[in-house]
Amino acid sequence: AQTVTQSQPEMSVQEAETVTLSCTYDTSENNYYLFWYKQPPSRQMILVIRQEAYKQQNATENRFSVNFQKAAKSFSLKISDSQLGDTAMYFCAFSSFFGNEKLTFGTGTRLTIIP
Amino acid sequence: DSGVTQTPKHLITATGQRVTLRCSPRSGDLSVYWYQQSLDQGLQFLIQYYNGEERAKGNILERFSAQQFPDLHSELNLSSLELGDSALYFCASSVLAGVDTQYFGPGTRLTVL
């Protein structure tokens, strides 16, 4: 079974700074997908970014980028020029490429952007 | 707005009761997933339907059941409710049954008293 670990329960950073959230996972599969979801105080789950394991290039979405290290099974999220609206819980998630497509989530990192 | 709708937003009920949570997927999405988010267990996958058929089951209790209707909306039925069932229940949808980005609804907050 796959597991996802987020070792930073809470983080805080000043507005406009850069912050990196860590995620490691364990799987015996070679093909899979990784995601970062954001859950603001409204509780809505919002997709931030997605990475296909077969792609060597790291995914980027505006101020959000990932550092995907397949051999190390590491998938960190970098937020550049952080904004107050980035304050949220961030969840790392894993999905198998074949078979059960459920998302397996980490325990989350609570990120606070300080004005 | 993800395009996934869930009703009701909040539900307060008593132990032993039965409730039904409803989800309408994004237009064109055939796959529906149900997740439970609780303080002690985090986000857990419950069940997946694809085009009306059950496709995968996770940590879903026997007291819980779900179905997906011909118009692709889905319902999650929770019966013999216990205090520990209090949680946020999310529905997500995706176009395909295979790996595809899942878009989440706003959730239903269930409180069992």
Count how many Cα atoms sit within 13 Å of the Cα of residue B31 in the half-sphere of its side chain.
Answer: 19
Checking if the pLDDT of B83 tops 80, the result is: yes
Mean pLDDT, chain B, rounded, equals 93
Q: Return d(Cα B6, Cα B24) in angstroms, integer.
A: 6
Neighbours of A76 (CB within 10 A): 17
Cβ of B101 within 8 Å of Cβ of A50? The answer is yes
Q: Tell me, what's the pLDDT at A2?
A: 85
For A13-70, how does the pLDDT look when each residue is reduced to its tens digit (9 = 90+)? 999 999 999 999 999 988 899 999 999 999 999 999 999 999 989 999 999 999 999 9
User: In chain B, which residue's Cα lies nearest the Cα of A99?
Assistant: B98
Q: Which residues contact B7 (CB under 8 A, 6 or more apart)?
A: B21, B22, B108
User: In chain A, which residue's Cα lies nearest the Cα of B92?
Assistant: A45
Q: Across-strand partners of B49?
A: B32, B54
Q: Token pair 């059941």 is at which residue? A: B65
* More confident: A3 or B99: A3
For B2-31, how does the pLDDT look when each residue is reduced to its tens digit (9 = 90+)? 899 999 999 999 999 999 999 999 999 999
* More confident: A9 or A1: A9
Query: The sheet that has B19-24: what strands, in order across it?
Result: B5-7, B19-24, B74-78, B64-68
Task: Please answer whether residues A97 and A32 qualify as being in contact, where contact means their C-beta atoms are separated by less than 8 angstroms.
Answer: yes
- Residues on chain B touching A6 (C-beta within 8 angstroms): none
Checking if the pLDDT of B75 tops 90, the result is: yes
Q: Tell me, what's the pLDDT at A109?
A: 97
7-66 in chain A: CB under 8 A from chain B: 32-33, 35, 37, 42-47, 50
**Nearest CB to B42; choose among A44, A45, A107:** A107
Shortest distance between the Cα of A34 and any Cα of chain B, in A, equals 10
| Confidence band, pLDDT 50/70/90 cuts, at residue B99 | low
Percentage of residues in chain B having pLDDT higher than 70: 97
Shortest distance between the Cα of B5 and any Cα of chain A, in A, equals 11
Q: Token pair 């609780």 is at which residue? A: B38
